[in-house]
Structure 1
Amino acid sequence: MSQPEIQIEGLEVFFGDGPERTRVVHGIDLNVAQGESYGLVGESGSGKSTVLRALVGLVPDWHGTMSVGGESLQRLGRSKEFYRRVQMVFQDPYASLHPRQTVDRVLSETLALHGIKDGVDARIDRLLEQVGLGGGFRFRYPHQLSGGQRQRVAIARALAPEPKVLLLDEPTSALDVSVQAEILNLLSDLRSEFGLTYLMVSHDLGVIGHMCDRVAVMQTGEIVETLEVDAMRKLDAQHPYTRHLLDSALRSAGHEGMGEAQRSAG
């Protein structure tokens, strides 16, 4: 395996203060190699999205060690270099774009934020092409876009500083099934083209099976099993909770594929 891009050891995350302070992630370890696509799967409330939020500095109360690209992360704040290296794509494309900003303004402000001032027009056109949107979308507002088009804009914004790592927090769960497949294929193509590393959260085993090389299964804030996706597809799981998730996926989707998105995107 190549050099680790993301390293997490003994991560504990807490919510609340005083007597209300609660530990929601319980000492997890994981390593994601450069260029790998790694999945975190589990039911709602398992702590998987909290891990991403801790990585990007949105959750201040954590203990343990985390590093990305060899940079050790502190509890408060992240460097400018970190935010050029690491970008996040959120679940809801409706909430992640400012309703009164055109696509052009969203992308131009992102480039300016990262100190990119040269060739902005060409960069914006290239970003839109990379995510499958033409120049005709450049001066549209979010309400003029479909859900899938909004998520493509969100992905373009994430690509603007030319990151090495994308953190994907349920990036297709708010979209129609047919659109999910398009976005998953886009993300697969971008990873291949730019050598990106993905850490992806999903409750959908079909999405993880299509996108990821390895998967960590989370239950109540703990990683209960880590396995290769090929083993997951063969139902070769050891932990009872993993087997429960697999059984649930098979009951809902039929044995030929875990998740409609996987069948459509395959």
Structure 2
Amino acid sequence: MSMLDVDGLNVWFGKHLERVDAVKGATFQVARGESFGLVGESGSGKSTILRAITGLAPDWSGTLSIEGQPIAKKRPKTFFKQVQMVFQDPYASLHPRHSVDQVLGETLHLHGFQDIDTRVVKLLDDVGLGQKFRFRYPHQLSGGQRQRVAIARALAPEPELLLLDEPTSALDVSVQAEILNLLTDLRADRGLTYLMVSHDLSVVAHMCDRLAVMKSGDIVEIMSVDALRAMNATHPYTQQLFKASL
């Protein structure tokens, strides 16, 4: 059984003459334990698919299923124990007046965990920060450290599926590889499934098993990462993306 099934997904913004169709008939499956990439130019609909899955883009049609169970328009609390998202900008995704301890502790409390102190320490260890960062505030952290906290927060409910929205694009090049390697290790250690959005084909080649290429809201091609590395594309747009990445 797939971890995630997306079948005929349409997502739009606005109404009537102002309606914009951001995603049109997207269909793909992500197997349990797989890392699946969504690539394409800015505005192609990649991040909108993630937002539809989490309920942040409320106007959608089609079928979204987690382990064979259709996702309702109103997400139950149990959904967010199973599915979490890491956002692109680590500067915007953390509350500036909340310490790392508050960020992680409140998340654990919301999801009903009791041994919060022990879990906060373990989460910080798991993302390579350690206890010395526990009572720091976002302004006392580098971009990479903030993103590690954001990843720890996403891991707190012990999800099975992580949605990764360009998790390294706002970071310095020197830090990007560290975060990607951390995500690779966490996937292996925790048996996680990833759905990852990126405009960077080298990131997808490093992180993913398969990928879907998007253009103007449409999925134009689904291919293996081996085909990506061999620059073996069938759709003209994908071939164009490959040439642009050289």
Q: TM-score, normalised by structure 2?
A: 0.99
* Correspondence for 1:156 among 152, 156, 171: 152
In the alignment, residue 152 of structure 1 is paired with which amino acid?
Answer: R
* Correspondence for 1:191 among 184, 187, 192: 187
Show the counterpart of 2:216: 220
Show the counterpart of 2:80: 83
Q: CA deviation at 1:21?
A: 1.4
Output one character per residue of 1:151-175: Cα deviation in whole Å (capped at 9) or x when no partner. Answer: 0000000000000000000000000
Listed as ranges, the gaps of 5+ residues in structure 1 are 251-266
* Correspondence for 2:47 among 49, 57, 79: 49
Displaced runs of 4 or more, over 3 A: none
In the alignment, residue 99 of structure 2 is paired with which amino acid?
Answer: T
Show the counterpart of 1:231: 227
Show the counterpart of 1:23: 21
Q: TM-score, normalised by structure 1?
A: 0.91
Listed as ranges, the gaps of 5+ residues in structure 2 are none
Show the counterpart of 1:207: 203
Show the counterpart of 1:112: 109
Output one character per residue of 1:109-135: Cα deviation in whole Å (capped at 9) or x when no partner. Answer: 00111111x211110000000000010
Q: Give the aligned length.
A: 246
Output one character per residue of 1:206-249: Cα deviation in whole Å (capped at 9) or x when no partner. Answer: 00000000000000000000100011100111111111111111
CA distance in 1, matches of 2:115, 2:59: 40
In the alignment, residue 30 of structure 1 is paired with which amino acid?
Answer: F
The 10-residue stretch of structure 1 (60-69 or 209-218) with the greater mean CA deviation from structure 2: 60-69
CA distance in 1, matches of 2:139, 2:14: 36
Report SS of the residue matched to 2:129: coil
Root mean square deviation of aligned Cα: 0.7
Show the counterpart of 1:122: 118
CA distance in 1, matches of 2:206, 2:51: 23
CA distance in 2, matches of 1:243, 1:138: 46
Show the counterpart of 1:182: 178
